[in-house]
Amino acid sequence: MNVPFVDLNAQYREIRRDIKKPLENLFVKSSFILGEDVKLFEAEFARHCGTNYAIGLNSGTDALFLSLLSLGIKEGDEVIVPVFTFIATALAVSYTGAKPVFVDIDDKTYNIDPEKIRKAVTKNTKAIIPVHLFGQSADMQPISAIAKEYNLKVVEDAAQAHGALYQGKQCGSLADIGCFSFYPTKNLGAFGDAGMVVTDSEKIYQKIFMLRDCGRKGRYEHAIKGYNSRLDTIQAIILRAKLTKLDKWNKLRQENAKYYSQLLKDEKNITLPQSAKDASHVYHIYAVRIKDRDRIYEELRQKGIGVSIYYPMPLHLQEAYKELNYKKGDFPVAERVCQEIIALPMYPHMNKKQIKFVSEQLKKVLNG
Ligand SMILES: Cc1ncc(COP(=O)(O)O)c(C=O)c1O
């Protein structure tokens, strides 16, 4: 049996009928840039998050970048980010001219360790970007308390956490700004690149609204030097259809994760995902830790199981950030996790047979 890492085709089959007509209408109308569906999707996504505003963008990376610009982050500033995340979290900081300052992660949730944030704050620190990694909220209460104490802004990187909750509230709605990616494999994924910013602040909304569209305030009147970071109307149509399934698909992911954990719980050599208090995990990624990870990875791939390594290298050891002069040993928790972590196949439409097969094969290679 082959089990892929994700199965996007199964999602397509579920929304196929719903998108056919709206796509046809769009092709006839040819309103491809900021058409009506973008506005409708923004309103629907803001409602889902429980925020006043949502602004559709071309990617999660630009969602982070424009968010930081809207807060006035610039050269000479520092922004605190976890050292274990997708590099876009840090790149967005670099694009503004500011410096990303890395902080180690919690050993159980793999999210930024709030205890270690305080030590990274300097007089130049302007903001913190907690990432809700793998679909589980960062511990926002202590993070917000530190931000308040030092007068810092908080931008949530919710690229992997659509629909995840923290103390009953949606990830993305817990701080000054929430940023989402709709990269195809995300829990809410487009048929290409797409992203979104959500906020309760009218001022931030107005600023990002202009930034995403060449700084426009009229057709050919430009108030600021903006960017072309708009959400495509085609993607908005796909995402509107998928948003109606998000909560159901997240529930299926949670059921799949529960079944994995039930089948693997007696294996001594595996660390299963751990749920933090106050957070609901939506399992964008179901990641386990294994000492002998590289061998296990190779053997499972040979058996046709689509395992993946999220992430093999922490940001401070990436060549792209060599100018920051970090070294091996600076972030011991993240470095250890990078050596041990392995993501098992996870998607809403996985069936029990597949989960059982993956778990059995994993146990076999572990013990033999
Ligand atoms: C944690 C995190 N931040 C940011 C991004 C960037 O999003 P995008 O690929 O849509 O630019 C991603 C996903 O790719 C991500 O996983």
pLDDT tens for each residue of 298-335: 999 999 999 999 999 999 999 999 999 999 999 999 99
Distance 88 CA to ligand 1 centre (A): 6
Fold held by 246-367: Aspartate Aminotransferase, domain 1 (3.90.1150)
Closest CA to 5 of 288, 360, 354, 347: 347
User: Does any ligand 1 atom lie closer than 6 A to the CB of residue 160?
Assistant: yes
Distance 178 CA to ligand 1 centre (A): 13
pLDDT in tens, 144-200: 999 999 999 999 999 999 999 999 999 999 999 999 999 999 999 999 999 999 999
In sequence order, which residues have a C-beta less than 8 Å from that of residue 79 and are 6 or more positions away?
68, 73, 93, 98, 99, 100, 101, 125, 126, 127, 128, 129
User: Does any ligand 1 atom lie closer than 6 A to the CB of residue 176?
Assistant: no
Residues of the chain within CATH 3.90.1150.10 domain(s) are 246-367
Looking at residue 226, its pLDDT comes to: 98
- Compute and round to an integer the Cα radius of gyration of the chain: 21
User: Does any ligand 1 atom lie closer than 6 A to the CB of residue 131?
Assistant: yes
pLDDT in tens, 269-309: 999 999 898 999 999 999 999 999 999 999 999 999 999 99
**CA–CA separation, 204 vs 199, rounded Å?**
7
* CA angle centred on 136, ends 48 and 201, rounded to 5°: 45
| Amino acid in the structure at residue 321 | Y
Distance 252 CA to ligand 1 centre (A): 23
Cα dihedral value 83, 87, 91, 94, nearest 10: 30
In sequence order, which residues have a C-beta less than 8 Å from that of residue 366 and are 6 or more positions away?
267, 269, 270, 290, 292, 296
List b or e across 141-169, with b for residues whose CB sees 16 or more CB atoms inside 10 angstroms: eebbebbeeeebbbbbbbbbbbbbbbeee
Distance 59 CA to ligand 1 centre (A): 8
* Residue 84 dihedral angles phi and psi, to the nearest 5°: -115, 95
Look over the chain and give the mean of its residue pLDDT values, rounded to a whole number.
Answer: 97
pLDDT band per the 50, 70, 90 thresholds, residue 124: very high
Cα dihedral value 44, 46, 52, 55, nearest 10: -100
Q: Look-up: residue for tokens 């995402």?
A: 239
Strand ranges, E, within the chain: 53-57, 78-82, 99-103, 125-128, 153-157, 165-166, 169-170, 177-181, 195-199, 216-218, 221-222, 270-271, 279-280, 286-290, 341-344
User: Does any ligand 1 atom lie closer than 6 A to the CB of residue 67?
Assistant: no
pLDDT band per the 50, 70, 90 thresholds, residue 54: very high
Distance 29 CA to ligand 1 centre (A): 31
List 33's β-bridge partners, or say none.
232
In the structure encoding, which two tokens stand for residue 329, read together? 């040993």
Task: Give the residue, out of 58, 61, 67, with the most ligand 1 atoms within 8 A of its beta carbon, to mutate for a pocket test.
Answer: 61
Q: Look-up: residue for tokens 């963008």?
A: 57
Return the axis-axis angle of helices 293-302 and 352-367, rounded to nearest 10°: 130
For β-strands 99-103 and 125-128, DSSP reports them as unpaired
Beta carbons of 97 and 75 less than 8 angstroms apart: yes
In sequence order, which residues have a C-beta less than 8 Å from that of residue 319 and are 6 or more positions away?
none
In sequence order, which residues have a C-beta less than 8 Å from that of residue 103 and are 6 or more positions away?
80, 81, 82, 83, 112, 113, 116, 117, 120, 331
Q: Which atom of ligand 1 is nearest to the CA of 194?
A: 10
Residues of the chain within CATH 3.40.640.10 domain(s) are 8-240
CATH number 3.40.50.720 given to 8-240: no
